[in-house]
C-alpha cells in the first residue's frame, strides 16, 4: 500500500520525479496544437437515421466522440444544437465523480485490504505499471472493479467506504452499460446489420471499471499517466473528470481532448475492429499528467465473455476485402495482447493485425 502515488505526492509536498517514471523524449511526443479540441458531440435523442450516421462518421474520423446530458443548462447555452440525453442523469455522474474522489482521499488503512499486484484479481487497487514497456512506471493509481451481469452478489468485494460507494458505482455502471448497448445497436443499424448484432456473448461479459486517479505530478513533461494504447474490449465509455488529461492519436499526431461537463467520451475497442474487419478502428490514446491538480476519471469497459470466439464477421468479408484478422477466443486475445511490448505503440505504430500474428 505504500506504493500508492496519492499517499506520497501532494501539491503541498513537491518531490522530484523518480527515475523509473521518466521516459525518453522520443517516447513522449507533445500534442501538435496548444489548444484543446472538443470531440464530436452525438445527439442520441435526435432522428435515429441522423444519429446512426453521426456515430459512424465520428467513429470513422476520430474513433472517439462524446455524449452529453440534456439537463446541463450551462452546457446547453454553449452547445445548443449538440446537446444529448444519453441516459445517465447529471446527478448520477456527479455522485460518481464525488464518491470516487472521496475514495482516494480516505486514510490508507481504509484501502489497504484492496491493494494487490495480482493482475487477474477482478477487484483491487494498484499503482504504477500495467503495461510491459521495459520497466517504466506510469503516474496513476487505479481502483479496478468488475460487475458481473446479472449483478447478483457481484459487488460484495467492492470497497464499502465512503458510505454509499457501492450503490453509487453500481447505479452508474448499469446506466452506462445501457448507453453502450444502445450505441452498439445504432452502430449495427448504421452498418446494415440487425439491431441485436452485438448482443449476446460478445457484450455480456463482466463490465469492468478502471477508476483512475492521477495525483499532481512533479514533472509532467517527463512521464505519462497511461501510455499510448488501444482498448482490448468491445466499446469503452469514459467519465473524463473535470481536468484535462486525455490525448487521442489523429492523423499520426496527438490532439488534446477538452473535458466537457456531464459528458461521456466513447471509443471503440479492438473487438469492434476485428468484427468489422477494420471498417471501425480502435484508436490509440494516452493520459498525460498535471503538476497542479489531481485528476480522477472512470473508464467503463463492455467486455465479451472469456470463451467468446471473435473474428471478422461474414458481412464484412468479400473477395475484394478478405479477412484481415484471425478468429480467436477472447481469453486468448487478452492473454497475447497483454504481453505484447508497447514500445512501438509509444511511436504511434500500434497495429492490431501485427499483434495478432503472435497469437
pLDDT, one tens digit per residue, over 205-243 is: 999 999 999 999 999 999 999 988 899 999 999 999 999
Crossing angle for the helix pair 90-105 and 165-190, to the nearest 10 degrees: 130
Handedness of CA 133, 138, 141, 143 (dihedral sign): negative
- What does the pLDDT read at residue 46? 77
- What does the pLDDT read at residue 109? 93
Q: Which residues contact 330 (CB under 8 A, 6 or more apart)?
A: 205, 271, 303, 304, 305, 306, 307, 308, 309, 310
pTM score, two decimals?
Answer: 0.90
Distances from the Cα of 196 to the Cαs of 125, 181, 192, in angstroms? 35, 9, 12
| Residues in the chain where the model's pLDDT stays below 50 | 70-84, 341-350, 359
Amino acid at each position: 500500500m505504500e506504493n500508492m502515488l496519492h499517499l506520497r505526492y501532494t501539491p503541498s509536498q513537491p518531490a522530484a520525479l523518480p527515475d523509473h517514471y521518466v521516459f525518453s523524449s522520443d517516447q513522449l511526443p507533445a500534442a501538435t496544437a496548444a489548444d484543446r479540441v472538443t470531440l464530436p458531440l452525438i445527439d442520441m435523442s435526435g432522428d435515429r437515421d441522423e444519429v446512426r450516421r453521426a456515430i459512424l462518421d465520428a467513429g470513422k474520423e476520430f474513433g472517439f466522440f462524446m455524449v452529453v446530458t440534456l439537463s446541463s443548462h450551462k452546457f446547453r447555452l454553449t452547445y445548443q444544437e449538440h446537446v444529448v440525453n444519453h441516459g445517465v442523469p447529471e446527478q448520477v455522474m456527479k455522485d460518481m465523480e464525488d464518491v470516487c474522489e472521496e475514495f482516494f482521499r480516505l486514510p490508507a488503512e481504509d484501502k489497504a485490504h484492496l491493494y494487490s499486484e495480482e493482475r487477474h484479481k477482478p477487484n483491487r487497487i494498484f499503482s504504477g505499471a500495467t503495461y510491459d514497456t521495459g520497466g517504466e512506471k506510469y503516474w496513476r493509481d487505479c481502483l479496478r472493479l468488475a460487475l458481473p451481469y446479472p449483478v447478483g452478489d457481484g459487488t460484495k468485494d467492492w470497497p464499502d467506504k465512503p458510505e454509499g460507494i457501492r450503490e453509487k458505482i453500481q447505479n452508474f455502471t448499469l446506466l452506462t452499460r445501457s448507453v453502450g448497448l444502445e450505441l452498439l445497436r445504432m452502430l449495427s443499424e448504421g452498418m446494415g446489420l440487425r439491431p441485436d448484432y452485438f448482443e449476446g456473448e460478445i457484450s455480456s461479459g463482466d463490465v469492468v471499471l478502471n477508476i483512475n486517479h492521477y495525483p499532481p505530478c512533479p514533472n509532467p513533461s517527463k512521464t505519462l499517466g497511461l501510455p499510448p494504447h488501444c482498448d482490448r474490449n468491445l466499446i469503452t465509455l469514459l467519465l473524463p473528470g473535470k481536468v484535462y488529461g486525455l490525448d487521442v492519436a489523429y492523423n499520426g499526431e496527438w490532439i488534446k481532448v477538452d473535458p466537457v461537463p456531464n459528458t461521456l467520451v466513447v471509443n471503440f475497442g479492438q473487438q469492434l475492429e476485428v468484427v468489422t474487419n477494420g471498417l471501425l478502428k480502435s484508436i490509440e490514446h494516452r493520459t498525460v499528467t498535471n503538476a497542479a491538480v489531481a485528476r480522477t476519471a472512470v473508464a467503463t469497459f463492455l467486455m465479451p465473455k472469456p470463451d467468446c470466439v471473435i473474428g471478422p464477421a461474414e458481412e464484412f468479408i468479400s473477395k475484394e476485402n478478405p479477412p484481415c484478422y484471425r478468429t480467436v477466443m477472447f481469453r486468448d486475445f487478452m492473454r497475447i495482447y497483454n504481453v505484447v511490448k508497447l514500445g512501438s505503440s509509444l511511436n504511434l505504430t500500434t497495429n492490431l493485425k501485427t499483434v495478432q500474428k503472435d497469437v
